[in-house]
Amino acid sequence: MNIFRLAGDLSHLAAIIILLIKIWKTRSCAGISGRSQVLFAIVFITRYLDLFTNFISAYNTAMKVFFLGSSIGTVYLMYLKFKATYDHNHDTFRIEFLLLPTALLSLVLNHEFSVMEILWTFSIYLESVAILPQLFMVSKTGEAESITSHYLFALGSYRGLYILNWIYRYYFEGFYDIIAIVAGCVQTILYCDFFYLYITKVLKGKKLQLPA
């Protein structure tokens, strides 16, 4: 564990908590893509199956349990509890265009052809693109609430911080995982346009609005 890894995890944790607070306090999931949230739930379920086979640390287990619970909880809030506020007219990204290619890719490019390893690889590939329905929704409506943009900023920063962690680990531990690194870079690149808008607009107190 290094400082970048810890900062990345805390940023990921903050993103999820910001999203839950937004939904809970406003009793609404307006502006949030349910499809992205379903993809994140699939990501965590397929990645953290090793909770049952492999104990790493109390920290690791606690974070995995939290991510699993919160992602499933978010899907529950969006599709059941606050269903009426879910903006499904604007949430139209076809997730099969993400699920099928990432599933195929994980069957071809993996470290080992075993069920656990393929599911882990699938979750890494899927995570890298899981935010696309959300970004698509923001571009479709042309704006995002401030709290939604804080959520996106924290979520995007997390993988960026992991990249610094991987650079650190490569230099100081001689460890690298090419699948995680490439997917993590793709994931971070997808946020670049958003980061630019966040820094130039939201941090200056303006609402995130896309140029017409």
Partner 1 sequence: KGTSTNKDEL
Binding site for partner 1 (CB under 8 A): 5, 9, 12, 50, 54, 56-57, 60, 63-64, 67, 111-112, 116-117, 120, 162, 165, 174-177, 180
CB-nearer residue toward partner 1: 29 or 126: 126
Q: Cβ distance 124 to 186 under 8 Å?
A: no
Min separation Cβ 177 and partner 1, Å: 6
Copy the structure tokens of residue 94: 């076809």
CB-nearer residue toward partner 1: 43 or 78: 43
CB-nearer residue toward partner 1: 123 or 134: 123
Min separation Cβ 72 and partner 1, Å: 16
Copy the structure tokens of residue 171: 């230099």
Long-range contacts of 21-25 (CB under 8 A, 24+ apart): 21/147, 22/145, 22/147, 22/148, 22/151, 23/74, 23/77, 23/78, 23/82, 24/77
Report which of 10, 8, 80 is spatially closest to residue 38, judged by C-alpha positions. 80
CB-nearer residue toward partner 1: 19 or 144: 19
Min separation Cβ 63 and partner 1, Å: 5
* 3 state DSSP class of 208: strand
CB-nearer residue toward partner 1: 5 or 90: 5
Min separation Cβ 100 and partner 1, Å: 25
Burial 51-70 (b: 16+ CB within 10 A, else e): eeeeeeeeebeeebeebbeb
Min separation Cβ 154 and partner 1, Å: 15
